């Protein structure tokens, strides 16, 4: 359970755990200020009790302050230094603890105990993030999400620093600063924040054809997830497993959410950012806090040199994925994220992930992006955390013994005893272990020293096309909409045209829809392709969110708009049906005090309607009495609640009285569709919730939206 700040500022259970671990590397001197049990006396950092924390020491009640007031000076000095540099990318993030349990051994492929000892439980810390926005940006930016996992294994820390998208923009780490500079706000004006809808980004992208596959992913609904809980995670690169004989196997890591995939609509994302910029972190906090922790399966795609040699693309190229139809994802374990942090700064802000944190039995490949990352992460921590001893910070400290002769430096937390600090020595102390120590994979390497990209990295369009044709019509439409939206924010027409020229190598319909949406006078010629695109890659269902939808409402949130006089039995039946799934609900009312139901009981509201727009919910119910409906039908916010729910294709349950509000919100009775369900009484609640399991009634958007025709026509022809 989270600690309530102010009531309990003391050492929490996790902090105590850390103390034990740290003790193994040396002695930890826990400062008194960390231990504020109930009734503790406020002290300075030196442990001196404070008598007055309200007034500085001054000469007379109206006189100047005195330098002698060490408590005041220490307090302000410490406050002045509370900030550390935010991450240069992935600055906005949210971390939680969890546990990984291995279900199937990979002992045949790796010596790593975390991957071979079945039922072994390994503590974890996971940090979710956006990439481009700063620490204070909003959660629903259209952006890739980071999904970084640290496994505190018995053999040392192992990090999978992944994303929610299985490929990346670039093939070589040397282009990373350019990519990020282009994506972040322009240096002169420092806007736009947390978005790619601007000239610099699309300028760079359209001059970098290798990014085209990733562009399809970022323009898809993957970049506007409904929740961290409904996202996949991917290690992206091909890594290597190494077994006891020193033999290697290639591996790609996958995290699959048990709750299935789900995203929001773009117009909804824009509104969520205003209504609740912390939407994702609140969602995760609430789920864990109420005892419904999210679970992911850990899966691997394993393959060998023979597969790698025959695969259409280079397995070292991070702009390519291996379709699950070609190499199935083998589920080997699961992780449950059920632990909230005690302190955001200590854990989420100070956690330091690094791709080179691997354990014996897990290794690297020559992927040029991975090789560059192995340098970058360690390097960046030095700046961010201020010195080489960030591994002593509890969240980064391994939970296994640590013994070496590295010493001193800023903020050293260890206090080693004895005179020996070198090796070899005649005194004793830790020694190498040829049997259990980390062994790099042995590999024959030779070649000329060159700056050259392999020709096997030159196909930039085929998998972009494969991704696009794997989507359902509504997902294809959303990709088209997103491209038109983003490119419409670019002021330079040549940049818009350049993107359409690339799209012509991906899908002609998409290129045409985007060109029409942008009002281009003519279709530009296709961009020259370094390697001719393959037109025959088959669609892969695993790439679609809609095809991977869970088919149930579990873990989702129903918003119930109530008014005075609303039916108590209906609301009771709805809340019971929600709880049985299990899902959650929130009551929204014209006043925060709630509503007086038809049985005379007062139902407390969680949100006043102005603070609880329908964008915060997966489906909504309008449980209104005739008087309530008549009142709300005059209210602009209530009308927005309804028209947004309709526009975002949500399932809407309504009482017959609420039809008036729907009509006044611009939804005529003859427009009511199968996504709208009349709730005549409590008996209808369960069936409505079952329907909500489809998550969105996308047919509504396809039926009415102006740009839908191209994709619909095509899907009917297919
Ligand atoms: Fe990162 N990345 N990255 N990245 N990355 C960082 O490390 C970098 C890349 C990813 O929650 C930084 O501690 C380079 C791919 C995540 O703390 C930095 C390249 C993938 C996080 C860095 C990449 C990622 C980071 C910034 C190109 C998906 C947040 C702060 C070669 C597989 C981790 C930090 C957290 C963070 C460098 C590309 C994922 C600067 C040079 C590909 C999830 O070191």
Residues 333, 470 within the same domain: no
- The pLDDT value given to residue 708: 58
pLDDT tens per residue, range 101-120: 999 999 999 999 999 999 99
Rg of the chain's alpha carbons, rounded to an integer? 28
CA–centroid distance, residue 509 to ligand 1 (Å):
34
Collapsing DSSP to helix, strand or coil, 660 comes out as: helix
Q: Please report the atom of ligand 1 found closest to the CA of residue 95.
A: 11
The Cβ of residue 173 has, within 10 Å, a number of other Cβ atoms equal to 18
pLDDT tens per residue across span 471-494: 999 999 999 999 999 999 999 999
Beta-sheet pairing, 652-654 with 619-623: parallel
Assess whether 255 and 331 both reside in one domain: yes
Task: For Cα atoms 496, 499, 505, give the angle at the middle one, nearest 5 degrees.
Answer: 150
Pocket test for ligand 1, best of 84, 85, 87, 391 (most atoms within 8 A of CB): 87
Q: 644 pLDDT exceeds 70? A: yes
Residue 347 in this model has a pLDDT that exceeds 70: yes
Position 191 pLDDT exceeds 60: yes
In a mutational test of the pocket of ligand 1, which residue from 84, 85, 88, 90 has the highest number of ligand atoms less than 8 Å from its CB?
Answer: 90
Quote the pLDDT of residue 682: 97
- Per residue in 200-217, pLDDT (tens digit) is 999 999 999 999 999 999
Digit-coded pLDDT (tens) for 392-437: 999 999 999 999 999 999 999 999 999 999 999 999 999 999 999 9
Among the atoms of ligand 1, which is closest to the Cα of residue 380?
44
pLDDT (0 to 100) of residue 707: 62
CA of 381 to the centre of ligand 1 (A): 11
Q: What is the pLDDT of residue 703?
A: 85
Query: 712 pLDDT exceeds 70?
Result: no
Shared domain for 338 and 247, answered yes or no, is yes
The ligand 1 atom at the shortest distance from the C-alpha of residue 375 is: 41
Residue 649 region by backbone torsions, left for phi larger than 0, else alpha for psi between -120 and 50, else beta: left
Question: Relative to the CA of 93, which ligand 1 atom is closest?
Answer: 11
> So which residues are the catalytic ones?
90, 163
Q: Token pair of 683, please?
A: 């008996």
Alpha-carbon dihedral of residues 154, 155, 161, 164, nearest 10 degrees?
Answer: -50
Three-state SS string over 70-103 comes to HHHHHHHHHHHCCCCCCCCCCCCEEEEEEEEEEC
Q: Which residue would you say has higher pLDDT here, 13 or 260?
A: 260
- Among residues 437, 221, 257, the alpha carbon closest in space to that of 335 is found at 257
List beta partners, residue 646. Answer: none
3-state SS string over 386-444?
A: CCCCHHHCCCCCCCCCCCCCCCCCCCCCCCCCCCCCCCCCCCCCCCCCCCCCCCCCCCC
Q: Is 350 helix (H, G, I), strand (E, B) or coil?
A: coil
Residue-level pLDDT at 38? 79
Residues 654 and 577 in one domain: yes
For the cut 70, the answer to whether the pLDDT of residue 49 exceeds it is yes
> What are residue 333's DSSP bridge partners?
102, 298
Interval 578-590 mean pLDDT: 97
Residue nearest to atom 8 of ligand 1 (CA): 373
Residue 97: the pLDDT is 98
Q: Which pLDDT value is given to residue 610?
A: 95
Ligand 1 atom, smallest distance to 351 CA: 17
Which residues neighbour 131 within 8 Å (Cβ) at sequence distance 6 or greater?
Answer: 89, 90, 143, 144, 145, 146, 183
Q: How far apart are CA 315 and CA 300, in angstroms?
A: 15
Q: From the CA of 649, how far away is ligand 1's center (Å)? A: 35
Q: Whose CA is nearest to atom 14 of ligand 1?
A: 373
Atom in ligand 1 nearest the alpha carbon of residue 379: 44
Please state, in angstroms and as integers, the Cα–Cα distance from residue 143 to each residue in 220, 224, 474, 696, following that order: 10, 7, 20, 22
Q: Is the peptide bond before 625 cis (omega within 30 degrees of 0)?
A: no
Query: 687 and 574 in one domain?
Result: yes
Q: Is 559 exposed, middle or buried (0-12, 13-18, 19+ CB in 10 A)?
A: buried
Ligand 1 midpoint to CA 377 (Å): 7
Shared-domain flag, residues 345 and 302: yes
- Residue 275 in contact with residue 471, Cβ under 8 Å? no
Alpha carbon of 181 to ligand 1 centroid (Å): 14
CA of 79 to the centre of ligand 1 (A): 29
> Is 466 in a helix, a strand, or coil?
helix
Residue-averaged pLDDT of the chain: 94
| 341 and 274 together in one domain | yes
Residue 355 scores a pLDDT above 70: yes
Looking at the structure, tell me whether residues 264 and 353 fall in a common domain. Answer: yes
Position 374 scores a pLDDT of 97
Structure tokens at 311: 């695969």
E strand or H helix at 333, and its extent?
Answer: strand 330-339
pLDDT exceeds 60 at position 716: no
Q: What CATH code is carried by the domain that includes residue 465? A: 1.20.1370.20
Q: Examine residue 20 and state whether it is found in any structural domain, yes or no.
A: no
Domain for residue 247, yes or no?
yes
C-alpha 312 chain-centroid distance: 30
Comparing 4-8, 137-141, 286-290, the range with the smallest average pLDDT is: 4-8
Give the number of other CB atoms < 10 A from CB of residue 185.
18
The three-state DSSP-derived secondary structure of 622-638 is EECCHHHHHHHCCCHHH
- Whether 347 and 492 map to the same domain: the answer is no
Residue 32 has pLDDT above 50, yes or no: no
List residues near ligand 1 (CB under 6 A): 87-90, 93, 127, 129, 146, 148, 161-163, 168, 173, 176, 236, 318, 351-353, 369, 372-373, 376-377, 380
pLDDT at 2: 37
**For residue 654, which phi and psi values (nearest 5 degrees)?**
-145, 145
What HEC string does 17-55 produce?
HHHHHHHHHCCCCCCHHHCCCCCCCCECCCCCECCCCCC
Q: What is the pLDDT of residue 489?
A: 98
The β-bridge relationship of strands 156-163 and 145-153 is antiparallel
Task: For residue 233, report the phi and psi dihedrals to the nearest 5 degrees.
Answer: -130, 150
The 10s digit of each residue's pLDDT in 615-628 is 999 999 999 999 99
269 Cα to the center of ligand 1, angstroms: 24
Measured in Å, residue 196 CA sits from the centre of ligand 1 at 18
- Domain membership flag for residue 454: no
Token pair listed for 647: 């526009």
Alpha-carbon distance 592 to 609, whole Å?
8
Q: How many residues does the chain have?
A: 718
Instruction: Decide: 691 and 620 in contact? Cβ < 8 Å.
Output: no
Within this chain, do residues 478 and 579 fall inside the same structural domain, yes or no? no
Residue 551 burial class via C-beta count within 10 angstroms: exposed 0-12, middle 13-18, buried 19 and up = exposed
Residue 4 has a pLDDT of: 33
Q: Of 339, 367, 395, which one is at a domain's C-terminal end?
A: 367
Token digits of residue 138: 């909003």
Query: Is residue 603 within 8 Å of residue 633, measured between CB atoms?
Result: no
Q: Tell me the per-residue pLDDT of 302-344, one tens digit each, with 9 for 90 and over.
A: 999 999 999 999 999 999 999 999 999 999 999 999 999 999 9
Query: Do both 495 and 563 map to the same domain?
Result: no
Rounded-to-integer distance, Cα 3 and Cα 342, Å = 7
Domain end among 367, 397, 427: 367
- Angstrom distance (rounded) from CA 282 to CA 190: 28
Specify if 315 maps to a domain: yes
pTM above threshold 0.85: yes
Give the SS3 label for residue 385: helix
Q: Which of 231, 285, 264 is nearest to 141 (CA)?
A: 264
DSSP tag of 329:
P
- Domain termination residue (choose one: 345, 367, 389): 367
In a domain, 343, yes or no: yes
Q: CB neighbours (10 Å) of residue 645?
A: 28
Total number of domains in the chain: 3
Return the CATH number at 132. Answer: 2.40.180.10
The H or E element spanning position 512 is helix 508-518
Helix (H) or strand (E) holding 594: none
Q: How far is CA 611 from CA 93, 457, 594, in A?
A: 24, 50, 13
pLDDT exceeding 70 applies to what percent of the chain?
Answer: 93
Q: What is the rounded distance in angstroms from the CA atom of residue 622 to the CA atom of residue 599?
A: 18
Position in ligand 1 atom list of the atom nearest CA 90 = 29
Q: What are phi and psi for residue 204, nearest 5 degrees? A: -60, -45
> How many Å separate Cα 401 from the centre of its chain?
31
C-alpha–C-alpha distance, residues 614 and 462, integer Å: 39
Q: Are residues 528 and 594 in the same domain?
A: no
Please report whether residue 49 resides in a domain.
Answer: no
Distance 549 CA to ligand 1 centre (A): 28
Task: Please say if the pLDDT value at position 31 is more than 70.
Answer: no
Domain-located, residue 193 = no
Pocket of ligand 1, candidates 373, 378, 391: which has the most ligand atoms within 8 Å of its Cβ, to mutate? 373
Kindly report the protein residue whose alpha carbon is nearest to atom 44 of ligand 1: 377
Residue 658 lies in a domain: yes
In which domain, by residue range, is 476 found? 461-546
Q: Which residues have CB under 8 Å from 11's CB, separation 6+?
A: 19, 30, 34, 35, 36
Q: What ligand 1 atom has the least distance to the C-alpha of 370?
A: 31
- Could you tell me the distance, in angstroms and rounded to a whole number, from the CA of residue 391 to the centre of ligand 1? 18
For residue 568, the domain's CATH number is 3.40.50.880
């Amino acid at each position: 359970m989270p600690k309530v700040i102010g009531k309990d500022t003391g050492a929490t259970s996790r902090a105590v755990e850390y103390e034990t671990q740290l003790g193994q590397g040396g002695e930890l001197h826990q400062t008194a200020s960390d231990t504020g049990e109930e009734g503790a006396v406020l002290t300075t950092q030196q442990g001196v009790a404070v008598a007055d924390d309200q007034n500085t020491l001054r000469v007379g009640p109206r006189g100047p302050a005195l330098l002698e007031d060490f408590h005041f000076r220490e307090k302000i000095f410490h406050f002045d230094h509370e900030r550390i540099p935010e991450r240069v990318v992935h600055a906005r993030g949210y971390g939680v603890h969890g546990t990984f349990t291995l279900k199937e051994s990979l002992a045949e492929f790796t010596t790593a105990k975390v991957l071979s000892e079945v039922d072994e439980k390994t503590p974890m810390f996971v940090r979710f993030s956006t990439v481009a926005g700063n620490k204070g940006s909003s959660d629903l930016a259209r952006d890739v999400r980071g999904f970084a996992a640290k496994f505190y294994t018995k053999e040392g820390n192992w990090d999978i620093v992944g994303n929610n998208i299985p490929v990346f923009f670039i093939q070589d780490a040397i282009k990373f600063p350019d990519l990020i500079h282009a994506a972040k706000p322009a240096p002169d004006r420092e806007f736009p924040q947390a978005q790619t809808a601007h000239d610099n980004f699309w300028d760079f992208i359209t001059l970098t054809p290798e990014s085209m596959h990733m562009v399809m992913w970022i323009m898809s609904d993957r970049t506007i997830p409904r929740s961290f809980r409904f996202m996949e995670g991917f290690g992206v690169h091909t890594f290597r497993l190494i077994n006891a004989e020193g033999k290697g196997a290639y591996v790609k890591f996958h995290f699959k959410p048990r709750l299935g995939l789900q995203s929001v609509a773009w117009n909804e994302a824009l509104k969520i950012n205003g209504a609740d910029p912390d939407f994702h972190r609140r969602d995760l906090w609430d789920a864990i806090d109420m005892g419904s922790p999210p679970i992911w399966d850990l899966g691997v795609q394993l393959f060998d040199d023979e597969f790698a040699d025959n695969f259409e693309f280079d397995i070292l190229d991070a702009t390519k994925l291996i379709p699950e139809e070609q190499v199935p994802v083998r589920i080997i374990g699961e992780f449950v994220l059920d632990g909230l942090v005690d302190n955001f700064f200590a854990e989420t802000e100070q956690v330091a992930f690094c791709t080179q944190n691997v354990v014996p039995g897990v290794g690297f490949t020559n992927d040029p992006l991975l090789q560059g990352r192995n340098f970058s992460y360690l390097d960046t921590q030095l700046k961010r955390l201020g010195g080489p001893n960030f591994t002593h910070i509890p969240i980064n400290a391994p939970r296994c013994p640590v013994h070496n002769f590295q010493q001193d430096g800023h903020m050293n937390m260890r206090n080693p005893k004895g005179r020996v600090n070198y090796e070899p020595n005649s005194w004793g102390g830790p020694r190498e272990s040829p049997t259990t120590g980390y062994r790099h994979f042995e590999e024959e390497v030779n070649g000329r020293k060159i700056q050259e990209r392999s020709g096997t990295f030159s196909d930039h369009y085929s998998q972009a096309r494969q991704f696009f044709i794997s989507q359902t019509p509504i997902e294809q439409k959303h990709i088209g909409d997103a491209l038109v939206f983003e490119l419409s924010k670019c002021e330079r027409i040549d940049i818009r045209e350049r993107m359409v020229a690339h799209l012509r190598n991906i899908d002609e319909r998409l290129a045409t829809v985007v060109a029409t949406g942008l009002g281009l006078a003519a279709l530009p010629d296709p961009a020259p392709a370094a390697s001719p695109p393959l037109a025959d890659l088959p669609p892969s269902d695993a790439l679609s969110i809609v095809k991977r939808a869970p088919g149930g409402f579990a873990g989702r949130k129903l918003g119930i708009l109530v008014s005075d006089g609303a039916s108590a039995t209906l609301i009771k039946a709805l809340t019971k049906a929600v709880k049985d799934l299990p899902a959650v609900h929130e009551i929204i009312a014209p006043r925060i005090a709630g509503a007086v139901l038809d049985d005379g009981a007062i139902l407390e509201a969680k949100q006043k309607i102005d603070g609880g727009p329908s964008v915060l919910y997966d489906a909504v119910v309008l449980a209104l009495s005739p008087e309530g409906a008549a009142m709300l039908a005059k209210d602009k916010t209530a009308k927005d609640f309804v028209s947004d729910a309709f526009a975002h294709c949500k399932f809407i349950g309504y009482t017959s009285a609420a039809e008036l509000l729907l009509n006044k919100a611009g939804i005529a009775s003859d427009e009511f569709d199968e996504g709208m369900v009349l709730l005549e009484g409590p008996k209808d609640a369960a069936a409505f919730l079952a329907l909500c399991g489809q998550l969105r009634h996308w047919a509504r958007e396809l039926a009415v939206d102006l740009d839908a025709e191209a994709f619909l026509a095509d899907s009917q022809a297919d």
